[in-house]
Copies of this chain bind each other. A is one copy, B any other.
Amino acid sequence: MTQPEVSLADIRAAQRRIAGSVLRTPVLESPSLDETTGARLYFKCESLQPVGAFKLRGASNAIEARTSEQLRAGVVTHSSGNHGAAVAYAARRRNLSARIVMPRNASAAKLAAVRSLGAQVLLCEPTLAAREAMAAQVASQSGALFIHPYDDPYVIAGQGTIALELLEQVPQLEWLLCPVGGGGLASGLGVAVKALRPDIHLIAVEPAAADDAQRSFAAGALAPAAAAHTIADGLRATLSARTFELIREHFDAIVTVDEAAIVRAMRALWQNLRIIVEASSAVPFAAVLERSIDVQGAHVGIVLTGGNVDLDALPW
């Protein structure tokens, strides 16, 4: 085992660094959902962050940890979703230029959201390879700092700050569930939770249609990703070697849920918590609702990761 690149100390440092930039998000409970599921559920509402997603934590930490000299040429990233807006927002707070590489087929709403935060949008072909190539080119030509959506120790440490807050807010926690896509969130939560409370059961949940994390976890080696067709568009990314190692070391299980279960869970969260969560956010709760894991009578934390949806295209 190699030395972990993200430690509890890194996450504590991230917490101090981003305290002024991110919201200490509330934890909501729902008597009706507790009744439905038989568990005591605690929803950590990262969807209420200013850009509507936990991604603001990692992006803010990656920027705030750097000197002005390191940020002289601004920042660059590639993203079709929340990470791009998070980098744009965090960059603006520090008066930095931000370039966000986005696929040509991104929705007009997403492009407008990033531009309204003062970032420059660079359009590329809608493939991962094209995005990565363009971002790398911009970084090398301009000297801008590249901030990867998840394969970055600062980003992972930033996401881990969610666990520090949640353990203070709900000290009786026995389980913690999160969605997994690229694995930055799960990695950060894993390091923090297992350092502070190794007794807590850690479960990552992903769409069955994007199950590379589960296949990798089962095989004990990073599995090749297949094309992911899921409504949970924030979870189409695949683990990196770094996030796979951190998740394998700290998580107890990876569970999958089908598309219909995700939509049912999403609607139940809207109806009962009265907050807007995107499909990716509903994935862990879907596993509870479908009884894919047995959490009867237990205190269960669930990270609601984001709340950016197209209100004209709801899936029900």
**Cα of A30 to Cα of B50 in the assembled complex, Å:** 6
Contacts of A32 in B (CB 8 A): 116
Number of copies of this kind of chain in the complex: 2
Q: Which residues of B contact A275 (CB under 8 A)?
A: 48, 274-276
**Complex Cα spacing A316 to B313, Å:** 11
Min C-beta distance of A281 to chain B, whole Å: 10
Give the residue name and chain of the B residue nearest to A306 (CB): B274
Name A265-316 residues within 8 Å CB distance of B: 267, 270-271, 273-277, 307-308, 311-312, 314, 316
* Cβ of A47 under 8 Å from chain B: yes
Can you name the residue of chain B whose Cβ is closest to the Cβ of A47? B274
- Which residues of chain B have C-beta atoms less than 8 A from A50's C-beta? 29-31
Q: How far is the CB of A164 from chain B (nearest CB, A)?
A: 18
Interface string of A34-78 (1 = CB under 8 A from B): 000000000000011010100000000000000000000000000
User: Is residue A26 within 8 Å, beta carbon to beta carbon, of the partner chain?
Assistant: yes
Report Cα–Cα, A271/B307, bound state, in Å. Answer: 9
Q: Determine whether A28 belongs to the interface, using a CB cutoff of 8 Å to chain B.
A: yes
Chain B min CB distance to A17 (Å): 20
A110 and B45 CA atoms in complex are apart in Å by: 26
Residues of chain B within 8 A (CB-CB) of A89 are 31
Cβ distance A275 to chain B, nearest Cβ, rounded Å: 5
Q: How far is the CA of A139 from the CA of B28 in the complex (A)?
A: 35
Contact residues in B for A273 (Cβ distance below 8 Å): 48
Minimal beta-carbon separation of A307 from chain B (angstroms): 3
Interfacial chain B residues near A29, Cβ < 8 Å = 50
Residues of chain A whose beta carbon lies under 8 Å from any beta carbon of chain B: 26, 28-32, 47-48, 50, 52, 89, 116, 267, 270-271, 273-277, 307-308, 311-312, 314, 316
Top 9 A-B pairs ranked by shortest CB distance? Answer: A274-B307, A26-B26, A274-B276, A275-B275, A52-B274, A47-B274, A31-B50, A270-B276, A270-B311
